[in-house]
Structure 1
């Protein structure tokens, strides 16, 4: 197998690895196989470290699966995708921690402590769901008992705050407690309260009437006793002692009869009997009404308790943590075992960083340091070369620009010289034309064949006229002084 070319690191010839489980485990540590070829004895150590990293990732996946299962109260399809993502994240993080723990220049502790703290924090996160799984049975039992106790307490409070009207509990202080304001139930059906009030009213009337009937019956019996004693001739301080129906006997009998009529003893006795009959009938009605009301009340209480059960739902993550805390607070043994298992999971999750720190700087680390140093030097040289190349390119561009500017300046100067030459040429032609004109004027008509006006050459046409050999051949060209020099007329 071909490997990237590395610097000269030693006299030991490289020993390329073979593909297999060991190499896959070493990939989890972030080790470079091309550098490890120079120290094959390090492969076993990094293979073991890779196994630890993969093990912590698997434990993190198990923890996430347990947490999601507890949160959603059962298996959900997305857990199949979420758990591997979490495992790859933990694997990548541990891989980074493994590959970046060893430092140069004696600064290992400076880099180790933050990474160890991060690893411990992740260990705490990973350990908690696993603890819930370990104490799953005890937590489920605790939660079930707490929920059942909540239902029992709720039912007791509802019955206390919603007593059956007409009973002793309805008039007790517990039913008037302020906390019962939120526990009142709207019970349908006919309330027995009106019947109970009517029954109580009739009962009180019957009691009052019975007192009157008893008092009248007692007084009437006394009057009858006196009349019997008098009629029988019984000698008492209240009688005459003469037997027979005498005046006193008749009088006492009349008094007794008159008392019976005046106090309506017969009517009151009948009325009392009627009241007792009504009370007995109302008692049956109240009983039936109480049974009906009790059934309606029980139905409302069951409905309220069903809502509580529905609200409780599946056992959630926070409820499990609360139950676990209560178990720990109630049992010292659970507290000790809980912390022992928690510390174990935290140490296992932090084990990759701890192993890397305990291993120190081995041969591979020194070779890696040398390779990094050489790569830094190579990169520095490449950076210098790039800087020089850019500097040389800048010089070329600058010189090219200067050359272009100089060429343009030369062109400008050349055009300026040509323009000056043209101006001088035209000036010489103009001077020559003026000289000829002045000469013609000096010679006069006799020398030119005067025709009434002077014919002269235009300064611009002077060369053409000169090449023709005679300036006078152009009969139409006439030059005269003007505001800007000689003008053609």
Structure 2
């Protein structure tokens, strides 16, 4: 190998070693311990690669999930996908670094890890499964939307006719869109026509009775003979006047004139209401069609973005109808869950290595060193506390001695002061006794004794 080739080989080897070290960092390897067993570096480089692969799959799954939720691709999704990838990477790194020691401990760590993997794998797997079966899922959702739009359009058209009067059958309680003014006018016209018909019947009866009585009065006045009714005598006689009065009374009691006036008013009102009905019905038809179009426009169309919940529901419905798709979707889910479990499975299936035993031994040594350091620190602190207690006791003893000395000095001073007072008193008494003796001319001893008496 030439010198130039050697120079090129060294950088490539350095890059490989640096990449391997970075992958081993993902596996939580202690490089200081691993340097003592260099043959196991390849194993942990592969384990770091498995952890990185699982994290990348999680990031891709988050990307698909966000695109399905939002309905479009946005730059901010990259940040969220990277954050989720780092979360999964650190979780797997922590779990792999915790699975160490003998197989009993590994088995105990496996069970909760599998539970975590099932939940995490399901979260990661579902967006990927939906992405794999996206064509069938989107088509199913589009067909459902079109069917729903067609059914809604048929219901709205049936429940909102141009006449404004809904059909007799039920099912239109929530499908009514507009209240027609034409329908209100038609209802009012129907009521008015019923009143007019009833009033017409009354008017016809009253008019018939009036005509009958007025005819009898006219026949009586002209002398027409009707057996049992007229006398047959011509002229305005008593019977003629009585029959005319009976006709007027019948017309007044039946209120024929007022009923005829009211009947004319009712018919006039009916004519006024009938005139704009055609235009109102035409306007109702246009407004009803616009309301139906607005209601249909609010519904998602077949080519609108499909949300993740719609995709999940559609996949469930398709899988329920297609057993092949059901098996394929669940196999894919299980595969992705298995992929998420790979870091710990690789660690477990690799068995207890020399590096694992060295890590366990190093951990025990560090634990013993830590315990010893804590014990020494505790002893030092206890010694400091004892010295502090001894110093405080000595200080209290010295203060007690000072207090006792001060007390004794005060007692001595008091005794000296008392003796001084007594001496002064004695001297004063002696002086007085001498003065008295000089005055009386007696012996000094007698004066002193008398003074004390």
* Pairing partner for 1:97 from 92, 95, 101: 95
Question: 1:296 Cα shift?
Answer: 5.7
* Alignment match, 1:62: 60
Q: Distance in 2 between matches of 1:158 and 1:405?
A: 101
Q: How does 1:253-292 map to 2 (within 5 A)?
A: none
Question: 1:336 Cα shift?
Answer: 1.4
Q: Distance in 1 between matches of 2:360 and 2:308?
A: 47
Residue 149 (structure 2) pairs with residue 157 (structure 1): no
Q: Is the 8 A contact 2:146 2:301 kept in 1?
A: no
Residue 425 (structure 2) pairs with residue 427 (structure 1): no
* Alignment match, 1:367: 358
Question: 1:298 Cα shift?
Answer: 4.1
Question: 1:421 Cα shift?
Answer: 1.6
Q: Distance in 1 between matches of 2:414 and 2:280?
A: 138
Q: Distance in 2 between matches of 1:379 and 1:18?
A: 37
Q: Is the 8 A contact 1:29 1:50 kept in 2?
A: yes
Provide closer, same or farther for how the CA distance between residues 445 and 313 of structure 1 changes in structure 2, counting only shifts above 3 A: same
* Pairing partner for 2:51 from 46, 53, 57: 53
Residue 337 (structure 2) pairs with residue 346 (structure 1): yes
Q: Distance in 2 between matches of 1:398 and 1:123?
A: 62
Question: 1:297 Cα shift?
Answer: 4.8
* Pairing partner for 1:138 from 136, 139, 164: 136
Q: How does 1:161-176 map to 2 (within 5 A)?
A: 161-165=159-163, 175-176=167-168
Question: 1:101 Cα shift?
Answer: 1.6
* Alignment match, 1:336: 327
Q: Is the 8 A contact 2:27 2:97 kept in 1?
A: yes
* Higher Cα Rg, which structure: 1
Higher normalized helix content (fraction of residues): 2
Question: 1:334 Cα shift?
Answer: 0.7
Q: Distance in 1 between matches of 2:412 and 2:347?
A: 90
Residue 179 (structure 2) pairs with residue 181 (structure 1): no
Q: State the TM-score, normalized to the length of structure 1.
A: 0.63
Q: Is the 8 A contact 2:23 2:45 kept in 1?
A: yes
Question: 1:164 Cα shift?
Answer: 4.7
* Alignment match, 1:358: 349
* Alignment match, 1:116: 114
Provide closer, same or farther for how the CA distance between residues 113 and 449 of structure 1 changes in structure 2, counting only shifts above 3 A: farther
Can you list the C-alpha shifts for 1:366-420, whole angstroms capped at 9, x where unaligned?
A: 1111111011111111111111111110111111101111111111111112112
Q: Is the 8 A contact 1:131 1:342 kept in 2?
A: yes
* Pairing partner for 2:73 from 72, 75, 78: 75
Q: Distance in 1 between matches of 2:416 and 2:297?
A: 122
* Pairing partner for 2:84 from 83, 86, 89: 86
Q: Distance in 1 between matches of 2:24 and 2:440?
A: 122
Q: Distance in 2 between matches of 1:178 and 1:418?
A: 118
Provide closer, same or farther for how the CA distance between residues 447 and 374 of structure 1 changes in structure 2, counting only shifts above 3 A: farther
Q: Is the 8 A contact 1:116 1:354 kept in 2?
A: no
Stretches of structure 1 lacking an aligned partner (at least 5 in a row): 1-15, 199-285, 451-479, 482-489
Question: 1:159 Cα shift?
Answer: 2.5
Stretches of structure 2 lacking an aligned partner (at least 5 in a row): 1-13, 191-276, 442-450
Query: The residue matched to 2:36 in structure 1 has which SS?
Result: coil
Q: Distance in 2 between matches of 1:79 and 1:417?
A: 90
Q: Distance in 2 between matches of 1:123 and 1:393?
A: 56
Query: The residue matched to 2:73 in structure 1 has which SS?
Result: coil
Q: Distance in 2 between matches of 1:149 and 1:178?
A: 21
* Alignment match, 2:240: none
